[in-house]
Chain A
């Protein structure tokens, strides 16, 4: 998995690419929790290049969400492929996370 931090119209976006599993999720966790440490909000993660996610990846996002909520911040996800969205739906987390189709969708609020 590769991770890029993209500046999109003044908004910092974490963009992982590839497979998020027990091996790679600690790398993603480090990036997300660095944003949480800076109290950034919204904390945006673009998943359009992510092809696979397991429960450790899901746990990473839950941890990031709880961290953001601790300072009144938000964690927003975008670009979920159907197989990724399906896992969020199965775990009932699609109702907990704000899921958007694009970064512009977030900016327009």
Chain B
């Protein structure tokens, strides 16, 4: 295995319990700094990964805190890839579309925040058990 391809990523495993979300935010904040994202974009990315993990807790694991969420974060120059893995029932992106922003009611905002932050938002259909959400963002040229 080429060593150069393995020194730019980390894996963070947390219990599917909301009290660990602060750890996720701290790790993603540092990853954004390493990838040279400006503060506003970094803030959007951190919030979006928090929302993705919250979705796993709510929808995939139905608040079972004994399940696990695995985050794989690949940090490149001006680019971040985040994979969010769970072992819950299969979730479809269409099921997570959220409400219209004009429809004022509790809930349904998370996917809007995820789509705002990332250029690519997709479930990996090749995963045989559970879900793998792939999130990719490159630093915006005009803001760099």
| Count of B interface residues, CB-CB < 8 Å | 24
Q: What's the count of A-B pairs with C-beta under 8 Å?
A: 60
Given A23-B18, A62-B106 in contact, is the A83-B50 Cβ separation under 8 Å? no
| Beta-carbon contact of A54 and B51 below 8 Å | yes
Question: Measured between alpha carbons, how far is A104 from B25 in the docked complex, in Å?
Answer: 35
| Count of A interface residues, CB-CB < 8 Å | 21
Helix, strand, loop or mixed for chain B's interface?
helix
Question: Measured between alpha carbons, how far is A83 from B25 in the docked complex, in Å?
Answer: 15
Please name the residue on chain B nearest to A58 by beta carbon. Answer: B109
| Beta-carbon contact of A55 and B25 below 8 Å | no
Cβ of B116 under 8 Å from chain A: yes
Give the segment of A37-45, A70-78, A90-98 that binds chain B.
A90-98
Chain B residues within CB distance 8 Å of chain A: 17-19, 21-22, 25, 43, 47, 50-51, 54, 57-58, 101-102, 104-107, 109-110, 112-113, 116
Which A-B residue pairs are the 10 nearest by beta carbons?
A23-B18, A59-B106, A22-B18, A55-B109, A62-B106, A23-B19, A55-B110, A22-B54, A63-B106, A92-B101
